[in-house]
């Protein structure tokens, strides 16, 4: 199980190797992403709290990357964090997510990206429920179910 120390180690020592890589040009990404999806996934944007289609949806299934369709999260580890964004306690596989330190907005956070295509997903925080203590705070526009 991934915990906060694992995430800090990935950020410092290198992320797990993904099963595959998907790389496209900006124009290729724009051919199938909406403007909002492109802004969030490719330009590291954030949707307004509570505005995403998947924020309050708890249907069973797998959440995949909107850009490359890589499985990222399972609905069984989704929970209501009251943050306004879909929240998960673990990725579906250790190598599904890439972790990058983010010091924007005057704070230090850990950005989460799809490890296959580098799509910005959101951030992970050490304030989630047991047993991992993690809250993967994800933009609805970056995932699909």
Active site residues: 137
> Measured between alpha carbons, how far is residue 86 from residues 11, 31, 59, 60, 104 in Å?
23, 26, 12, 14, 21
* 76 touches 102 (CB < 8 A): no
Structure tokens given for 129: 């429920």
Q: Which long-range contacts (CB under 8 A, 24 or more apart) does 73-81 make?
A: 73/136, 73/138, 73/143, 75/145, 79/128, 79/129, 80/56, 81/128, 81/135, 81/137
């Amino acid at each position: 199980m991934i915990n906060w120390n694992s995430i800090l180690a990935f950020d410092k020592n290198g992320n797990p190797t993904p099963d595959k890589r998907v790389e496209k040009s900006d124009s290729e990404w724009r051919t199938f992403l909406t403007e909002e999806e492109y802004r969030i996934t490719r330009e590291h944007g954030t949707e307004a709290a509570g505005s995403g289609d998947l924020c309050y949806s708890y249907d069973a299934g797998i959440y995949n990357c909107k850009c490359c369709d890589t499985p990222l999260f399972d609905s069984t580890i989704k929970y209501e964090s009251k943050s306004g964004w879909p929240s998960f306690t673990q990725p579906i596989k250790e190598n599904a997510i890439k972790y990058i330190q983010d010091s924007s907005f005057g704070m230090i956070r850990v950005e989460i990206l799809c490890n296959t295509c580098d799509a910005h997903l959101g951030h992970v925080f050490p304030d989630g429920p047991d047993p991992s203590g993690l809250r993967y705070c994800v933009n609805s526009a970056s995932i699909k179910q």
